[in-house]
Structure formats: structure tokens, C-alpha cells
Chains A and B, each alone.
Chain A
Amino acid sequence: MADAFLYVLLILDATFRVATPLVLAALAGMFSERSGVIDIGLEGKMLGSAFAAAACASVTGSAWAGLLVGVAAAIALSMLHGFACITHRGNQVVSGMAINIVVAGLAPTLGFAWFHQGGQTPPLSGDARFASLTLPFADATADWPIIGPLYSELISGHNIIVYMAAAAVPIAAWILFRTRFGLRIRAVGENPHAVDTAGISVVAIRYRALIVTGILCGIAGSYLSIAHGAGFARDMTAGKGYLALAALVFGKWKPVPTLFACLLFAFTDALQARLQGADIPGIGVIPVQFIQALPYILTVLLLAGFVGRAIPPKAIGQPYVKER
């Protein structure tokens, strides 16, 4: 019983770690897409910031400096996306893909030029990386029944970015639904003409939304290279940007449902790691590929079964042109 409890706790613990970059990236996508700009370039922005963060952290030895530069890199890429899609009304999907591709090539190229380690950054250690934090009383309460392990195993012991991601959800929700900025972002994604005629610049709002996207994406990427991991490796995002996008659509562009979609992806991922090779009574050992496919199968089933039609922001994907 206690074992089973701990087992579940550890799975959930892993879920949080895996979900963190997804949550941050999906929220990043939310700001962009809520403002009407499709963001298929989450992958590239994350990868770019993972590289920038690791590069900076390895040079300066400071994880915080790394995070800052990682965020800056993601913002820069976000602005490039804005320049193409907002200023020049380019196709948003093409721009996002172009950014993904450019970054996938540029990061290792620069990495090789700077560090001569085959496109990777040197492994980070010490202050160059965000270490796990032990929350107050975690050790003291560890022995308490139920609550003890819950607190010390599950809540405590993550790096700071995990907590940032946890905080990002309510903050993002608050910004989106309770502030002027959020109101305008939502409006510009639904009906940019209404925003324009209300005397607000559509372009400025979209750019600002993209800055927020950059910030969140930057944190997500930094998590991969200087918090969860300890250095940059080429293509290290491994499709997480696309998964985050899927979570965003799954969550119907709303912060809390998106969080749950990310947690679901992460949970099935943590679960499949533990089911691989497990002997399931009555069935035997299932081929590993099927276990690995489990998260995806589950997602499809859930989508088909429970989640209704997702209605995207109305103006998404269309460059703003004054028309009637």
C-alpha cells in the first residue's frame, strides 16, 4: 500500500518534471495564438533559447544569466516571427517552420564555432545550472504519513523553473482574463477590426503578445538545457514544441485546460517509461513500441471521446488587413 502510494507519487513527480517545458511552451503559444498569430515555431524558439541559455551559462557560470539570455534569444526569434507575419503579413505557418529550421541549423553551427564540442555546449555544473530546491520543512516532514511524502517527494525538490511553470499558469490566466493587456490580446485574436476601430494598434498588441510568447518560450528552453538538463545538445527539444502546440489545442486555448493537457501528456509519458517491459497479467509483455505509443493513442481516444470541438480564436492565421 505504502509502496503503491510512493509509486504513484514518483510518477507524479516525473509528470511535473516532464510537463514543465510543455506547460511553459503551451502558455507561450497561447499568448501568440490568442492574439491571432499561429505559432508553429515553439520548437525552434525553445531550441534557440536552450542553446543561448546553455552557452551563456557555461561562459558566465551563472544560471540566471543563462536564463536571461535564453529568454532574450526566444524574444528575438519571436520578433522575427512578428516581423514576418505582422509587419509583412507573411504566412504564419511558413514563418514558424522557417524559424524552426533556421534554429535547428544555427544552434549547432554556433555551438561548434564557440565551444568546439560538436555543436554541444560543455556540461554545466554548480551555479551554471538551476539545482533542485528543497522547500522549507521538507526534510522535517518527510516521515509524516501521507502528507510527508506528498510534500517532500512531490512538492519539494524541483528546480526553480518547475515552480515558475506552476506559477505561470495562474499568472497567465490572470493576465489574459483580468488585465487590460489580456483583454486586448483576446480582442485582437477574435476581431482585429474591433481593436483597430477602438483606437488601439493591432500591430502593437500582437508584437507585445509575441514578446510574452518569447519570454515563456525562453524559460521553457532554458529549463531543458540549464535546469532539467545540463547543457545543450542539438535537436534536444525532440518535438516538445509540437506536443505543446497539441496541448494548447487540446486545452482549447485556455490556460487551465491546457495545463491539464500538458499534465496528461507528461503523465502518460512517465507511465509508459514504467510500463515498458512490464509483465502485464494475462497479456504478457507488450512490445515496447506499443507502450511507447500509449500516450499518443490515449490522446487520440480522449479527443475522440470527451473533448468536443475546439474553437480557435476567430482571427487566427490571418494577417490583419483593413477591409470590411
Chain B
Amino acid sequence: MTDHPVLSLEHVGLRIGGARILNDVSLDVPAGEMLGVIGPNGAGKTTLFNVVSGIIRPTEGRVLLDGQDVSHVAIHHRAAAGLGRTFQTSSLFQALSVVENVRMVAQAHAGGATSVFRTPRRTDAATTRALETLAEVGLEHRADAVASGLSHGEKRKLEIAMLIAMEPKVILLDEPMAGVGSADVPALTEVIRGLHRGGRTVLMVEHHMEVVLGLVDRVAVMHHGELLAVDTPEAVMANPAVQSAYLGEAV
């Protein structure tokens, strides 16, 4: 579509108190790429996602979305501009039903989400869309359950469904597999692959190397708030610095 990358970070830095959490992170993500982000615990991966989605403002550098500088744009504007994300620990509307969780997103996407003049109905477009989305991730049978009563794996799926309903251009996934039992990993992997297949750009933080390596085009490695390397999975796995800092003897 366009020649510029859909998401780019220019010398992004973040200090909190005296601590440098992010240091001179520059990164271009072309449209349609699936990028894995790995790194030791505390490397700054979640923080990087927070900076991109606007939850934290960087103290240095710029974040560009579709060529536009969004460093000082509010969270909800970025979301409306097509940036979707999940959280490391499930973040849902616990008291709402599963379908309501998704419908909220569908409405936000379709506009007029905060209208007093429109009443959600069983049959309206947003609800239909929500149910479709739930079917995509295999949660349609739980549509009327209250979100807080879902099992861990189901919550993960609901998060993804909410993402799909947003129809975002750029997706940030923070450890989608954490706590998902081995038995459910393959199915969830498929769902994520499906997200990407629609031509969307996906950034994914994940410690399950087998999942990362099976999905991504490139891998970005973070360490101590810096970007150590961005390269193909094979090259990254072969990198001795990555091995010692991140993978350990497990490889």
C-alpha cells in the first residue's frame, strides 16, 4: 500500500525516576509483518507495548503510526486509528458477559459507541459482528457467560476475539500463551496465525519459543531496555548473545 512502515519507533527512550527503562529503541515494522519480541524478564517488552499503545508517554523519541507522529496522541485515538492490543494478564470487563465484551469493541470500531440514542439489540450489526467473532475463536458457546467465570484459556481467547472485532491494522500481543495448557497451545496458535493472515501487522511478545519460531517473520530481541537485534528467527537463535542472555542452556 504505502512505502513507509506502518509502525516505526524513532530513538524511543523512557526514564522513570532515575531508571532507564527504554533506551534509544528504533524499529520499523512494515505492513503485514509478524514480528516476535523476545527478551529476558524485565527487558522492557511490555513497556515498549505500553509506549506504542499510549499508556505510557516516552520521555524521548517518537512513535509513528502510518507515518503520523502519535507520541502525544491519547490512548483512545490511537486505538481508533487501528492499533489493538492484549495484556499480559487478561484484562476484561469482568462483570459483563462474553458477547457484551466483544460488542463493546465492535461498537467502538463502528463509531457511535457512546451514543445515548442507540440501544444495543440482539439483532444489530455490532452484536452480529460480536457473535461472528466469537465463532472465529471458538467461544460462541460461551457467549452469555459472565467473563469472570471463564477458565484461563477461554479468557485468552476472549482477548483475541476482542482484538479481531476491533479490526485493527496493527496488533500488539503480550504473552498470549502464558498459562495456556499445552493442550490448548496449538489451537490458539492457529487463531493468531489467522489474525495475521488477514494482512494485519502483528507484534507478539512470547516466551514460548516454539510458538514464536513457528509464527514470526522476524524476531526483535530486547535486553536492558535496548534493542539488541532484529533479524530472522534462525539468525537470532544462532546469536550467542541471545543464547546467553535469554535462552540459556535450554537450546
Decide whether A and B assemble into one complex: no
Using a CB–CB distance below 8 Å, which chain A residues touch chain B? none
Using a CB–CB distance below 8 Å, which chain B residues touch chain A? none
